[in-house]
Each structure stands twice: as C-alpha cells, then as structure tokens.
C-alpha cells in the first residue's frame, strides 16, 4: 500500500526527540510522502530543512489563522521572493470563526494576501476553515483560486459547500476525525468527493484518532483513516490508498 499524508506538522515540538522513529513507523504503515505545513514564519526554515533532510518529506510555507500577528504581514513577501523550488504549496492558511482572536478581519487580510501570492506563483493552497465556509466561498468566488487549485484539510463543511467548491479545483482532505462516530452527512460528502477529490491526512501531532485523545497523533495512524473510509465507501483500503495517492500527486505535482 502507498499512502500520502497530505497534511501534518512535523516541525512541531512534539516531534523534536524522535522524528526518525516516527518516520520509520510511517514508512512501515505504507506512507510514501508526507506534506508538512509550517504555521508561522519562524518555522519556515525548519520545514525546508526537514524536506531537504528526508526524501519522503515535502514542505509548505504559510501563516495559520490562529497565530497571526500584524508584524507577520511583511514576511509574506518572502513567499514571493524566496520560495521557488523549496515548497510544494502555500499553507497552512485559512479562516476560523470558532475563535475570537485573532479577529476575523485580520484573518481575512492574511488569507486573501496568501491566496493572491499562491495565484501569482502558481502553487496550490492548504486551507484551514472552521465555521467560515460562506466567507471562504465568497472570497474564492471574488478572488479565484490558483490554477493548481488547493485542498481544504480536515474538511467539516456541508454537501452544498462541496458542490460550490469542486469547480474551483478544490480537493477535500480527511483525517483521524472520521474515526469517531458515524455521520450520515459525512457519508454523503464522501460519495460526492470520491474518487476524484478525496485526499487523506493525519494533521499530526493534532487530531488523534478515536480512543487516543490526549495522545500525540502520528502519521502511521493514517491507516485508521483508510479503514474508516473503507467502511463508509464500501471500497477496499488498497483501492482508496491508490486513488488518494494519485490525487495527491496531481495536486502537489509530486
Ligand atoms: Zn494543520
């Protein structure tokens, strides 16, 4: 089985002591590529270093809506001037209305600018969106998406949102969140996005699978995502791995 974990955070402190072991068990689980996403400019160098150190890692640079500071706005120019041949996407970027701080206006300012930069340098985007899907579709309808499209990670929107976003070359990535209770809405969405728009991720070290809350998530847990998907879709894990890996290679040009 060959799987691509399209979204994780290997820069995180949680991995500073045993990353080699974590990568080894990911490899044994069938993970052939990991896309690690930095969330603040201070992490960009580390992301790049990881991608240079380990052939299975690719990196992305971006500023996550949770960690915005006005001062970071100037750093965004480095995405234009310093990212060529180093990163496979702009991310993690996005909008989050489930938090009050940073304020939405600041989130929108950073999201729009990073989306514009991705369009300009023609890289896909990795989007975080919670409770802000109408704002997200509004911005995308107005500004457009990069030609290379993008992904929404840990997707939690509605079937209606899926319908609106597919024409914008957006893929939907699902992670360990789907190992919790069955959801008929999710089943409907999976049938909308499979096979052409589904990707898999772990978001490690965040969002651990059912039964492991409070424990660090790791990329090898992606096999649990595949088995949950197999139950929903009634398709074999191997087939889903093949399809999602093909989709990931297409989005990230791997
Ligand atoms: Zn993330």
| Residue 109, CB-side half-sphere exposure with 13 Å CA sphere | 13
Ligand 1 centroid to Cα of residue 203, in Å, is 5
Ligand 1 centroid to Cα of residue 66, in Å, is 11
DSSP E strands, the chain = 3-8, 31-37, 57-61, 89-96, 125-130, 150-152, 170-174, 198-200
Confidence of residue 207 (pLDDT cuts 50, 70, 90): very high
Distances (CA, A) of 40 to 27, 43, 67, 107: 27, 6, 7, 13
The pLDDT tens digits for 97-115 are 999 999 999 999 999 999 9
Q: What local confidence, expressed as pLDDT, does residue 67 receive? A: 98
Q: Contact, 124 vs 146, CB < 8 A? A: yes
Ligand 1 centroid to Cα of residue 142, in Å, is 25
Q: What local confidence, expressed as pLDDT, does residue 140 receive? A: 97
pTM of the model: 0.97
**Nearest-angstrom CA–CA distance, 246 and 195:** 10
57 CB-near residues (< 8 Å, 6+ apart): 10, 23, 33, 34, 35, 36, 50, 51
Confidence of residue 7 (pLDDT cuts 50, 70, 90): very high
State mean pLDDT over 4-21. 98
The pLDDT tens digits for 176-191 are 999 999 999 999 999 9
State mean pLDDT over 188-216. 96
Distances (CA, A) of 27 to 24, 34, 190, 202, 222: 5, 10, 26, 14, 11
Q: What local confidence, expressed as pLDDT, does residue 145 receive? A: 97
DSSP string covering 106-157, please? HHHHHHHHHHHHHHHHT--EEEEEES-HHHHHHHHHHH---TT-EEETT---
State mean pLDDT over 224-253. 98
Per-residue burial over 92-103, b = 16 or more CB atoms within 10 Å of its CB, e = otherwise: bbbbbbeeeebe
Tracing tokens 């991310």 back to the chain, one arrives at 91
Ligand 1 centroid to Cα of residue 7, in Å, is 6
CB neighbours (10 Å) of residue 243?
Answer: 19
Ligand 1 centroid to Cα of residue 128, in Å, is 7
Ligand 1 centroid to Cα of residue 206, in Å, is 7
Neighbours of ion ligand 1 (CB under 5 A): 203
Ligand 1 centroid to Cα of residue 37, in Å, is 7
Q: What local confidence, expressed as pLDDT, does residue 174 receive? A: 98
**Nearest-angstrom CA–CA distance, 10 and 205:** 8
The pLDDT tens digits for 34-82 are 999 999 999 999 999 999 999 999 999 999 999 999 999 999 999 999 9
């Amino acid at each position: 089985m060959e799987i691509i974990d399209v979204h994780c955070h290997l820069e995180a402190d949680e991995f500073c002591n045993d990353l080699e072991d974590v990568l080894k068990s990911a490899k044994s689980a069938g993970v052939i590529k990991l896309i690690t996403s930095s969330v603040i400019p201070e992490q960009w160098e580390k992301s790049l270093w990881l991608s240079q150190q380990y052939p299975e890692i690719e990196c992305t640079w971006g500023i996550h809506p949770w960690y915005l500071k006005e001062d970071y706005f100037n750093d965004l120019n480095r995405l234009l001037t310093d990212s060529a041949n180093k990163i496979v996407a702009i991310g993690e970027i996005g909008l989050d209305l489930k938090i009050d701080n940073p304020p939405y206006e600041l989130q929108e300012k950073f999201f729009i600018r990073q989306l514009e930069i991705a369009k300009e340098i023609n890289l896909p985007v990795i989007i975080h969106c919670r409770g802000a899907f109408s704002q997200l579709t509004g911005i995308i309808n107005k500004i457009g998406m990069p030609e290379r499209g993008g992904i929404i990670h840990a997707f939690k929107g509605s079937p209606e949102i899926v319908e609106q976003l597919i024409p914008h070359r957006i893929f939907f990535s699902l992670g360990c969140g789907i190992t919790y209770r069955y959801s008929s809405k999710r089943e409907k969405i999976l049938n909308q996005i499979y096979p052409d728009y589904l990707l898999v991720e772990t978001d490690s070290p965040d969002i651990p699978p059912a039964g492991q809350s409070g424990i660090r998530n790791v990329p090898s847990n992606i096999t649990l995502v595949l088995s949950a998907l197999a139950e929903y879709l009634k398709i074999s894990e191997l087939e889903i791995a093949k399809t999602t890996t093909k989709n990931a290679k297409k989005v990230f040009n791997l």
